[in-house]
Structure 1
Amino acid sequence: MEMGTKLNGRYKITGTVGGGGMAHVYLAHDLILDRDVAVKVLRYDFRDDQDTIRRFKREALAATELVHPNIVSVYDIGEENNNQYIVMEYVKGMDLKKYIHANFPIPYQKVTDIMNQVLSAVNAAHHNRIIHRDLKPQNILIDESGVVKITDFGIAVALSQTSITQTNSLLGSVHYLSPEQARGGMATNQSDVYSLGIILYELLTGHVPFDGESAVSIALKHFQETVPSVKKYDQRIPQALENVVLKATAKEVADRYTSVYEMQNDLTSALSADRRDEPKYTPSSMMETTKVLEPIPVAGIISKGEAKTKGNQQSDSKQLKNNTKSDEVQMKKNKRRKVLLWILLALSLLSVGVFFIIANSAPKDVNVPNITDMTENEATKVLSEKKLLLGKITKEANNEIEEGHIIRSKPEMGLSVKENTPIDIVLSSGEKTVEFLDYTGKSYEEVRVELSEQNFTVKREDQSNDTVDSGLIISQDINENEEVNPKDTTVTFTVSTGQAGFEMRDLIGYSEKSVRDYVNDNGLNGTIIKEYSNEVAEGQVLSQNPAKGTVLYGGADISVVISQGPEAILAKTVSKKIAVSYEESEETNSSGNSDESKESQLIPNSITIYIEDQEHNLGTVYQQFEISEDTEIELDFVLQEGEKGRYKIVRDGETIEEDEVTP
C-alpha cells in the first residue's frame, strides 16, 4: 500500500511496521482523533478467499471485546477497495524477540514481570473464550515504558484453518507450537500454556529449546524430545523457576498447568526464598504406579496332614497285625501294648505338630500404626513393616494437614486387626476451596466487603466504560466456578469509572468552524460568544471555558469567545478657520522702446495646504489656489475621539503656518 493512501478518508498511511503470514501492518495517522494507529491489511493473496475474509472479520470483532491493559486495543475494522483492514493501537517500542536479543541476559525479576503481564493478558482472553493459538515473542510488544502488550488475538485461527501455507510465518511459529498442535490436534487453553512455557524458556536462556532445518523437524522435536533444562545454560536459575518451565512445557496435557491463572500463581512465588529447596518437577505420567499384589492364602494344609496321618495309622495297624501272627500270645499282647503306646505317642506328636503348623500359618493380630500426616509412600512402608496393606485412597480438603499427607486411617490408629488387612486412608487435598462466583455487573464495594470477610485479597483496577455505570464491576481475573482457596487467592476486579473522559484541547487561535467540528466530534454542548479584541485577529478564538487540560465527558458544556477584531471608533468632523495673508510683489512690463513708458502690476501668491486626519495624509496636497489679498479659509478635519489632526500652509514654496487640531 502506497504512502499517503487514506483508508475510509480517515486513516492516512505514513509508514510500514511489519508483516505476518496473512497481513501487512502499516503505521497510519487518524485524521479525526489526531493520533497514530497501526493498520493491519489482509494480504493480497487472501483477498479472494471468502472463508479467510469471514474469519478475519469474525476474529477481529472478537478481539474488540478484549479490553485489557496488556492487550493491543482494536479501534476499528473495515473494507475499502477490496482491502480488509483492522485499526489497532500503535505501540511505540519493539517486539519481545528483539527485546531479548538487545537485553539478554535479562534479570530474573524482569523476566517474571514480563511473563506476569503476558499471563494476565492471556488469562483475560481465555476468560472470554478466546485461544490465541500463535503465542510467540514476535506477537508480544514492549513499549518504551516497559508495558507489555499482546497482539494478533484470534487472527491465528484464520491462518490455521486456511489451506494456504506461509513458510516464513510457520517457521516463526513452530518453535512455540504445542505437541498436540504439532500432531494436528485441536488447540486448547493448555496449548497456549505450552507456548508460554517456551517463551519463558527463551527469556531465561536467550534462545528457543528446539531448532532444525525445517518446520517439520522442529515440530517432531516438540512431541518427541524433552525440553532441555534451563539450568544447563545458567546454574543460578532457581529450581522453582525452572519447575514453572518444566510444568508448562510437559508433553502430556495432564501434566501441564490446567490454566494460565495456575501458571501465573506458581510463577509469582518462583523467586521466593520459601521455595529455595524445591525439588525438580517430574511429570506424573513418567512415573510407574506401584501395584500391591494380594497374598495367596494357604489352603488345604490341615486336611492333607490329617489324610496323611490316617493313612499312616492304617498302615501301622496292618503291620502290627502281620507281626503278631508269628509270635506267641503273650508276646503278642506285650508287643501290642508297646505298639499301641508308640502309636499313641506318634499321634500325640503329630497332633502337636499340626497345631503348631496351623498356629503359625494363621494371620496374627496387630495394632494399626499411627500414619497421620505421613505421605502415601511413607505410610505404605510403615504398614508393610506391620504386615498390613494399603487400602482405598480418598481425598478430602483440610486446613491443617498439608496437601498429599494423610488426615486419618480406617481402621483407626491403635485398633487391633489381622495381618494383611487393608488400611484405607484419607489424603489431604489441601486447604478447603470454594467455587468462585461471577461478580460482573455488581457493586465493587459490596463485593469487596463480602470477599474480604471470606479472607480473599481484593484489588481494583479502574477503567472507563460507556455502558457500565460507575462503581460496577466490568470483569474479573478469576473464572466463574473456578475452585480457589480464599486465603491464598488475590482477585483483581476491573471497575467502571463511568463514561470515558478526555482532556479539553487548547482551542486558542481556532476558527469558528474548527470549534464547531471539535464540539460535534466529542459530543459536547458548545456556546460561542463574540467580542472585540485589539490583540487577536478577527474570527479566531480569544478565550475558552473550561481551560485546556480539564477532563470532560460527553454532553459537557463548553464556551468559547471569538474575536471580532478591534472595535470601530466613530469619527467626527472638526472645522478650523485660518487667515492666510497676502504678500505683495510687483512686476514691470516694457514695450521694447527706450522711449516707451514703464508700468507696474501686482503678482498673486500661490497657496498650498496640507492636512492630516482619518482621510488625509500630511504628505499629500489637500488644496492649492492663488490669492491677491488676505484671505480666510476653513479646513474640515475627520477625527476620532482623542485623536489629533495637523495642517501646514505653504505660500510660494515657503511654509508660513503649521499647527495641530484637536476635537
Structure 2
Amino acid sequence: MESRGAELSGTLLERRYRIDTMIARGGMSSVYLGLDTRLERPVAIKVMDSRLSGDRSFLDRLEREARTAARLHHPSVVGVYDQGVDRRPDGELAYLVMEYIEGGTLRDVLHEHGELSVPLALSVLEPILAALAAAHEAALVHRDIKPENVLIGRGGTVKVGDFGLVKAIAGAGTTSDSVILGTVAYLAPEQVATGAADARSDVYSAGLVLYEMLTGAPPYSGDTALSVAYRHVNDDVPAPSTKRQGIPAELDELVVRATRRDPSVRPADATAFLTELRRVRASLGIHPVPVPVPPNKVPVHLPAYTPARDDDPPTEQITAITDYTNGPTVVKQRPVSHAGPMGTRTMNRSDLPAMAQRPPTTEQDLEPDPPKPSAYERERSRGRRAMLIWAVVITLLVAGVGGTAWWLGSGRWTEVPRLAGLTLVKAQEALRAGDLVAKVSHEPNDDVPIDEVIRSEPQTGSKVLRGNEVVLVVSMGLPEVPTVAAGASLADAEKAIRDAKLQPTQNESANDYSAEVPQGAVIKLSPAPGTKLKTGAPVTVALSKGKPPVPVPAVAGMTKEAAYAELRRLGFEPEDGGQDFSAEYEAGRVARTDPPSGTKLDTKTTRRVKVVLSNAVTLPNFTGQRASQASKWLRDKGLDVDVQQLFPGRDDGNVVGQSVAPGTRVKPGTKVVLTCFF
C-alpha cells in the first residue's frame, strides 16, 4: 500500500481529483490530501485497496452507502462530496472524496493529555452524539465509533467521519457472513457474536469512548484481538470511578448504562444518549469548554487509520467468539501480528471447536495434529482423485459443446425484467442477475417515491444482448425549484426551470430595481430554490429593472456652479431653467429645480434637470442718500421709483424714508416710494 501511495501522488482521478500526498494509511485503504480541480478546493481522497476495487458487490454497496452518508447534513459530520471508480490500465481505483479537516483526531488529544477532565470529555462527546443522532434519524448506523474516527479541526470543531464505510466493506466479496469488521476495543457484544449492528451498537461504542476519555484507556486490553473481543461478550464494563478518582456518580451510571451487554437496556439511540448526557451535565452544573486542537497540527482525515507510520499494522483476520450467551468458547488462533486492539480488523466466526471455558492465552489451547494416513489409504485416495478428475473433464467437454451451441443460438440474448416500482438497488441486482449492465438516469416525478424506478429503456420484455446497458430512469421525487444565481440570463434561468420539469413564468410586478444586478438579468425565483412543487408548476422569474431611481438633490440656495456640479455627480444633466422670484434666496442663487428636489428619476431614461435662479432684489437702506442716487440704483435693478418731498424746494433732497423696509427681497418691477425732507 505504501509503494502504491507513492505511485499515486500526482495522479488525476477521473480527470478531476488530483492526488497530492498520503496523510493516512490502513489495511483497507489509504487517505490522501488532494485537490478538486473543478471547484479548486482541498479535499481528502480515500482510495480503496485493489482487492476491494475489483469487487462488484463492494462497489455497489460503497456507492449506496456514500449516497446515504452524503445526505447527512450536520455540522458534526464529515461531508461526503463524491464517490467513483477510476479505471486505469493497471486496474480500477475505487475512491471517496470528502471534506478536508485540518487538525487531528481524538486519539491525538488522548496521546497528548491522557485522561481528560470531565467538562472536556463531555464537550467532546456531545457533538459525537449529535452526529450519530442525525445518522440514526436517517436509519444509518456507523458501526466503528472510536477516537481515530473523531476529527478535531480548527477552532476545536469536532466531527465524525467514515459513515457507512464498514458496512460497505463488510458487504464485499473479500469477507463473508462469518467475518465481521471493526475495532475490537470498541465493538459491541452483538457485533462480536453475530455481526448484527444497530443504533444501540453505536451507543455502546460511544460509551466506551467516553470511558476512555475519563480514564485515559479503554476498559479492555489483551495480547490478541480475540482476547479483547472475548471480554466484550463476557464481562461488564466497569464504572470509570474504579480507575480514576473524582468522577461523579451520575456520570458513572451513564457510562455503565450505555455499555450494558444487553442492547435492550442501553439508550435506544444516540438521541436518547444525548438527552441523558445533557441532563447529567445540567444536574452537575458542568458548562462546555473549548476542545483543544491536537498539538501536532498534522492534516488528518478519515481517522479509521492513523497518520501513516512505518510501524502501522495491517488489517488482520482472526477467529472470534460465536456464542456469548452460553459462556466463552475457546478457539484455535491463527498466527497474527500483535498489533493491539486499536486498528480496524476483520474477525472470522468459522473454525470454532469448543474447548475449555476460558479465553485462549497459551499454547495448551492449540489442537493436536491429526494422525497420518496409512500407505493403503493414500493409494486409495489417489485413485479416487484420478477418477474424479476424469469425470470432471468429460463433464466439462460435454457442457462446453452444449453451452457453445446454446450461446450461438439463443443464449446471447436475454429479456429485460420488470423493473418499474423496484428500488434502485433491487433493480440493479435484477439486471446483474440477467447479465445486463445498469445505467442510472434521474428525473423528477410527482407519484413515484425517491430512488424508485419509474421505467427502463429498453422497456420490460425487450430482448437485448447479454452485457448491454439498460437505462434505469429513477425518481428524484417531486420537482425542486433549481438554484439560479443572481445575474444569470433569463434564457439560462428558464432552461434550468424547464430541466427541473417546472414552467418558467414572468410577472412585471415581480421585477425590481437592483444596484448590483444589471437590467434584464435574473434577481430571484419565486418560490425560492429548493421548494418542492408538482410537475409543471409555475416558477416566476423576477428580473432586474437596473439601478434604482435617484432622487433630485436639494440644491436651492447654492450658486449656479455648485448646483450644476452636484447634479452631474449624481448622473443628472443640469440645464438653464431661467429666473424666478424667491423671497428666500437672493438674486443669482438657485431658487428651485424642475423637477423639484426629492423627485426620483430613472437616470437611464430621464436625466435632464432645469436649474431656476432667483431674481429677487434685496433693498438697501437709502436714508441720508441723495434721491437721485437712490432712484438710479432702483431703476438699474428693474424697480419702479416714486420720489416724494415733504417740503418742496430742492430737486435733489436727502432721503428720509422708503416704502419698502431695508433688507426686503422684492420682485423686479416693484414700485418703491422714496420720501425726501426738502
| TM-score, normalised with respect to structure 2 | 0.41
1 or 2, which has the higher strand percentage? 1
TM-score w.r.t. the length of structure 1 is 0.41
